[in-house]
Amino acid sequence: MSIASTPLTASVTPSQVDQKKLKSRIVHIGFGAFHRAHQALYTHDVLEKTAGDWGICVISLFSGHELIKKLRAQQHRYLVAEKGAHKTIVKEIASVNESLHPMLDGKQAVIEKMAEQQVEIVSMTITEKGYCIDHTTGKLDENNPLIQNDIATPSEPKSAIGYIVEALRLRRERGLQAFTVMSCDNVQENGHNAQIAVLGLARLQDNELAQWIESHTTFPSTMVDRIVPAVTPETLTEITAMTGVDDPCAVACEPFRQWIIEDNFVQGRPDWNIAGAEFVQNVVPFEEMKLRMLNGSHSFLAYLGYLGGYQHISDTMANPCYQQATLDLMLKVQAVSLNMPVGTDLAGYAELLIKRFSNPSLKHQTWQIAMDGSQKIPQRFVGSLLFHLQHESDYKWLAMGIAGWMHYVGGVDEQGKIIDVRDPLAQTFIDINDSHYNHPQRVKALLGIDSIFDKALLANDEFVETVTTAYQLIATHGAKQAVTSLSSL
According to CB under 6 A, which one of 22, 24, 34, 297 is a site residue for ligand NAD? 34
Rounded Cα distance between 133 and 382, Å, is 25
The secondary structure of residue 178, as a DSSP letter, is: P
According to CB under 6 A, which one of 3, 26, 33, 458 is a site residue for ligand NAD? 33
Quote the Cα angle for 379-429-465, to 5°.
70
Least distance to ligand NAD, CB of residue 98, Å:
16
By the rule CB under 6 A, 227 interacts with ligand NAD: yes
First CA to last CA across the chain, in angstroms?
59
Least distance to ligand NAD, CB of residue 262, Å:
16
Residues with Cβ within 8 Å of 63's Cβ and at least 6 positions away in sequence, in order, are none
What's the order of all strands across the beta sheet hosting 251-253?
12-13, 88-93, 78-83, 251-253
By the rule CB under 6 A, 31 interacts with ligand NAD: yes
According to CB under 6 A, which one of 2, 19, 75, 186 is a site residue for ligand NAD? 186
Q: Which helix (H) or strand (E) covers residue 13, if one does?
A: strand 12-13
By the rule CB under 6 A, 160 interacts with ligand NAD: yes
- Stretch near ligand NAD under the rule CB under 6 A, chosen from 4-12, 225-233, 300-308, 469-477: 225-233
Least distance to ligand NAD, CB of residue 447, Å:
31
According to CB under 6 A, which one of 185, 287, 315, 328 is a site residue for ligand NAD? 185
By rule CB under 6 A, what string of x and - marks binding of each residue 54-83 to ligand NAD? ------xxxxx-------------------
According to CB under 6 A, which one of 28, 30, 77, 101 is a site residue for ligand NAD? 30
By the rule CB under 6 A, 255 interacts with ligand NAD: no
Q: Which helix (H) or strand (E) covers residue 83, if one does?
A: strand 78-83
Nearer to ligand NAD, 226 or 269 (CB): 226
Least distance to ligand NAD, CB of residue 67, Å:
8
Least distance to ligand NAD, CB of residue 398, Å:
25
By the rule CB under 6 A, 130 interacts with ligand NAD: yes
Least distance to ligand NAD, CB of residue 428, Å:
27
Alpha-carbon 472 to chain mean position: 35
Rounded Cα distance between 66 and 484, Å, is 51
Least distance to ligand NAD, CB of residue 93, Å:
14
C-alpha distances in Å from residue 134, one per residue of 32, 65, 189, 285: 24, 28, 15, 25
Site for ligand NAD in 361-420 (CB under 6 A): none
- Stretch near ligand NAD under the rule CB under 6 A, chosen from 221-229, 368-376, 383-391, 398-406: 221-229
Alpha-carbon 136 to chain mean position: 22
Nearer to ligand NAD, 47 or 253 (CB): 253
**439-447 and 461-477 are packed helices; what angle lies between their axes, rounded to 10 degrees?**
130
Q: How many residues contact ligand NAD, by CB under 6 A?
A: 23
Our separate counts of H helices and E strands in the chain read: 24, 14
Residues with Cβ within 8 Å of 304's Cβ and at least 6 positions away in sequence, in order, are 316, 322, 325, 400, 401, 404, 474, 479, 482, 483
Least distance to ligand NAD, CB of residue 445, Å:
34
Parallel, antiparallel or unpaired: strands 278-280 and 258-262: parallel
| Positions that interact with ligand NAD (CB under 6 A) | 30-35, 60-64, 125-127, 129-130, 160, 185-186, 224, 226-228
